[in-house]
Every structure is written in structure tokens, then in C-alpha cells.
Amino acid sequence: MPRRHDPGRRQRIIDAAIEVVGARGIAGLSHRSVAAAADVPLGSTTYHFATLDELLSAALRQVNGEWLADFARWVDRLDPAVPLAEEVARLVADTLAGDRARVELEYELYLAALRHAAVRPIAAECLEEMVRLLGRKIGDERTARAVVAFADGLLLQHLLTGAPFEPAVVRDGLAGVLG
């Protein structure tokens, strides 16, 4: 039987991996679970991604690309007349008010780098690109790095605790960090 030409299969596998992680967490990610979600033979997942780390890396790259596009749009809309702390409060508020499942998925994949060394460089690349984008806009990479770390920590804390978001606390806290 001739091999079926399926140029979108690799992408469907990546999309399915993201879907599986979103539904079951990293622990639920396996070639078998992804093959079922993508509706492809098990051998297709191992053909395109020999290891789970390769599949996880591809999923993280895709999710990071989407996050970075959103972040770049936020950076482009920064108003130099508005204090940076106010703009960061808006970013955190908008992110928390958006699709919580998407944000949780982004962090689940991002934090997978703690246990999967192969994924660490991808997570680090994303952080460095955020710092680069913001640093170029505000003219100070050190401040950009502090802002990225601050916003990242705030988002994670709110996701973990479910505490109500208080923009004034963010503005005051970040203003204190920035001096």
C-alpha cells in the first residue's frame, strides 16, 4: 500500500501535544496520547519526534511563539507618557482576564523546563526575547529584565493562588522595584 501524503501531520501532532498537555498536564503527555488526539498512527509521532523531549520542545516553541507575538503587540502599544508600572499592571490584568486555560498551558509548558533539560534553552530563549523586545522599546535592558521577572512572577502567583488582581498593588510594587 502506498504511503499517504500528509504534509500537515507534523503540525497536527504538535497541536495535539498542546491539547494533551492542556487537558492532562505534562504527566499525560505520551506518544500514544498524542497519536490518539491527532488521529494518527503511533508510529507517526515517533517518526516526527523520536523522544517526548523533542515533542515537548516543539509544543513549547509553538506556544512561546504565540505568547511572544502577544507580548510584542503589548510592547508596541506602550505609551511613553504612561508610567511603565501602569503599563505592566495593564499587561498582567489583560493576561489574567483572558483565556485562563491558555495561560495555564503556557506556564505548564514553560515550567516543564525545570524537569526537562532539553526544553530549558527554549524557555530561556523566550525570556531573553521578551527582555530584548521590551529593552529596545524602553531603552534599558536591565529594567526590562526586572519588569519581565516581576510580571512573570505576578502572573504565576495569581494563577496559583487565585487571589484577586489589584492593579494598585502591581503599580506600587513595580514602582518600588524600578525606583
2, pLDDT greater than 80: no
177, pLDDT greater than 70: yes
d(CA 165, CA 179): 22
Q: Which residues contact 32 (CB under 8 A, 6 or more apart)?
A: 42
Please state the rounded mean pLDDT for residues 64-85. Answer: 94
What pLDDT, on a 0 to 100 scale, did the predictor assign at position 173?
84
The pTM of the whole model exceeds 0.85: yes
Number of CB atoms found within 10 A of residue 38's CB? 22
The three cell numbers locating residue 177: 522595584
Cα end-to-end span (Å), the chain: 69
**DSSP annotation of 146:** H
**Tens digit of each residue's pLDDT (9 = 90 or more) over 12-25:** 999 999 999 999 99
Spell out the domains of the chain, with CATH numbers in brackets.
1-50 (1.10.10.60), 57-178 (1.10.357.10)
**Tens digit of each residue's pLDDT (9 = 90 or more) over 109-140:** 888 988 999 999 999 999 999 999 999 999 99
Q: Which stretch of 5-9, 103-107, 137-141 has the lowest confidence by average pLDDT?
A: 5-9
- CA neighbor of 109 nearest in space, from 120, 100, 99, 98: 120
